[in-house]
Amino acid sequence: MRVARTEYMINTTPDQVFAVLADGWTYSDWVVGTAHIRNVDPDYPTPGTAIHHKAGPWPMSVRDSTVVIDCEQDRMLLLRVGLWPLGEGRVHLALTPVGDSATRVTLVEYFPEGPLRWLHTKVNDVALHWRNKESLRRLADLATRREAVCR
């Protein structure tokens, strides 16, 4: 199974980055391709809770959910991303502190279920890497802005 791995350095602490990840209502602000958040379960990101969203461009957007599989505050978030009828993905976000004021975010994504698991081409790999890099850039913007507001 092929995985897409993207790393990005964010100039703030892991707790600031995790604060954005833990706010399910910001999901469409940083995840490229998510069009609208319909609802966020109470207690998100506790394992088993979900973000209910629409993904893709209108009028072809897909209503589905992203469910938390595992979570370690300020360190890691593992998600099951629904995109049916296209398939289902797994997204693992790991936060590693770098010094006192930076975080390396590693995003690993793969598709174990549905038609998307068969799409393995160089073009798809490049597109997925670009998408994930842009998502992490947006996450960085939110996390560093959140820090600036809190001071």
Residues lower than pLDDT 70 in the chain: 1-2, 83-86, 113-127, 146-151
Give pLDDT, residue 109.
87
Give pLDDT, residue 4.
80
Q: What is the pLDDT of residues 27-42, one digit of tens each?
A: 999 999 888 999 999 9
Q: What's the rounded Cα separation, in Å, for the pair 30 and 132?
A: 10
Q: How far is CA 140 from the centre of its chain?
A: 12
Q: What is the pLDDT of residues 9-26, one digit of tens each?
A: 999 999 999 999 999 999
CATH no., domain 4-150: 3.30.530.20
Q: Classify residue 58 as exposed, middle or buried by CB count within 10 Å of its CB (0-12, 13-18, 19+).
A: exposed
